[in-house]
Structure formats: C-alpha cells, structure tokens
Amino acid sequence: MADMSVVLSGIKLENPVIPASGCFGYGAEFKDFYDLNILGSFSFKGTTKEPRFGNPTPRVAECTGGILNSIGLQNPGIEAVINEELPRIAAFFKKPVIANIGGFSVDEFVYCAERLDGVEQVGIIEVNISCPNLHKGGVNFGSDPKAAAEVTAAVRKATGKPIYIKLSPNVTSITEIAKACEDAGADGLSLINTLLGMRIDIKSRKPLLANKMGGLSGRAIFPVALRMVYEVRKAVKIPIIGMGGVASAEDVIEMMMAGASAVQIGAENLRNPFACKEIIEDLPRVMAELGIERLRDIIGVA
C-alpha cells in the first residue's frame, strides 16, 4: 500500500494535501461535499486581531488560467475565530488545523499568536507576512529581510507552536527572505503567496478590481511557484509547504520533488469543490505509475 504520510515539525499528516488559506474559509463551506477528515490538514481563512470587512467590491476577477482577488483579509477577528469558528470546526474536523494569521504591525502578529498558543486544535501557525507594515510606510513585511525576520522572531517568542512563515513571490530574492526567516526562528515556510496582477475592462476603460490590482492565483502560476520552492529548498534546511497553481496529483508529486514536504491547494478549490478529495484519491495511482512507495522519499529529489 502506498505510504502518503508526511511530517511537518513533528506533526504527522496522513497525506500532504492541505487546502490553502483564503480558498477554504473555515471548512464549513466544504464539509457537505465530502468528509474533510481525509485531508492532511487545512489552513483556515487569514485572521487578524480586529474584524475586517475587507476591500471594496468588485474584488474578484477571472483571467486565463487563474483568478485575481483583492479581498483585503476579510475576517471576523481573532476572538470570534477562537470562540466561534474553531468550536464549529471541531464538530466536523478531528485533526489539527493550520491557523493563518495576518497583521499590520509586529504587535498584531504577536497578539494573534499568543491568543492561539493555548488552542489545542491548532497544530501550526502560518504567518502571512504579505501584509503592509503601517508603522513603516506601508511596505510589506515580506518584501524586506529585516522586517520578515523581525516578525518571525517576535512570533517565535509568543508561541510554543510551530510557526511557518508564508512568503510573498513579489520580491527580488525570495531565498534571501527565506533565509532571514529561518535564522530568526521559523520552523518552516509556506510559499508562494499570490503574484501581483491586474485586469482592465476595455469597454469601461477602468480596472476590473476596485483596488486596481490584486493577487493572481490558479494554474497559471504553477511554474513560478515550483521554481521558487526549488530555489528555497536549496537555501534552507526547514520544511516547506509548497503552493501556487496546484491542481492535480501529478502537480503534488512535482511540487514535492522540487522540495515541498506538503502541498496546499488554493484556487482549484474554487473551480472544483471536490479538488482536494480527487487529488488524494488519485495520488496512489500516480505513485504506482512512478514507482513511488513513500511520498517522503521524493521530497527534494529534483
């Protein structure tokens, strides 16, 4: 029998398939489609200290091979997530979840990490450093090695749980950011977040998104994500959760060969709500065709 199990910072997952934050809500939207307990885990919707309504609409636009979004971290805030969403998740998902957190200052990241530290359901805290640092001119934490390291170090002190820093691809050198996070105490890395993109309505002559630009996700970005995972794998020793355009069992295998220890599926869940289920069910077939007995053996073989 094919062994699809993987390990992330001491946490064993039955398989490497994890729905990505922002494309799976808090799981409730998908639980009626299939038993979510077949998943390795899932990363819930990005959560901030205070509730956020998000950006003005329209904030989603389709494009060839993907989707643009400018949601703006809409969420009910950390207290509502802990007191309402996590108890709801516990009713249908019996494994540790990945808690994705965002913030607009180091203190906000720290606050969210501290609040989640004692929550047994949370196995890993995923720190989205693509947020703008409002205290330093709005530059994204994830675009500057020093800022990325500062957030990482502060969150590391705030929690005993494994922390995985989610990296932005919109940088000159993602390996430089990755190494800064590793040196500052990150247990792992998640990459890539969305690529910055734009669409224009040629009839109205205006951008399709109210925010003008947004994050591009979907199948179109897979080669970029694969390249960045490959580069980062050579630069750091900590585990990587790879993501960006993953849409099939073959994509999962390819991403793991590039260096990912587990794989997140994002936009494909919006196109096909059964995507993760179908990928998990198809993995043994692809493994058999390729002569792979244990998925853990192929991590970084490329």
Report, as residue numbers or ranges, the catalytic residues: 131
Q: How many CA atoms lie within 13 A of 217 on its CB side?
A: 26
The CA-atom distances, in angstroms, between 173 and each of 131, 167, 251, 255 are 18, 11, 24, 20
Nearest to 180 by CA among 133, 140, 145: 145
Q: Is the Cα torsion angle 244, 176, 41, 258 positive or negative in sign?
A: positive
Q: Which residues pair with 275 in a beta bridge?
A: none
Distance from C-alpha of 45 to C-alpha of 99, rounded to nearest angstrom: 8
| H or E element at residue 280 | helix 275-290
CA distance linking residue 2 with residue 285, whole number of Å: 9
Burial class (CB in 10 A: 0-12, 13-18, 19+), 37: exposed
What's the token pair of residue 196? 């910055």
Rounded Cα–Cα distance for residues 217 and 67 (Å)? 6
**Identity of the amino acid at 90:** A
Of the candidates 197, 71, 58, 209, the one whose C-alpha atom is nearest the C-alpha of residue 128 is 71
Longest dimension (CA), the chain: 57
Tell me which residue of 209, 183, 185, 189 sits closest to 197, measured CA to CA.
209
> What is the bridge-based pairing of β-strands 97-101 and 122-128?
parallel
Give the distance, in angstroms, between the CA of residue 110 and the centroid of all CA atoms in the same chain.
19
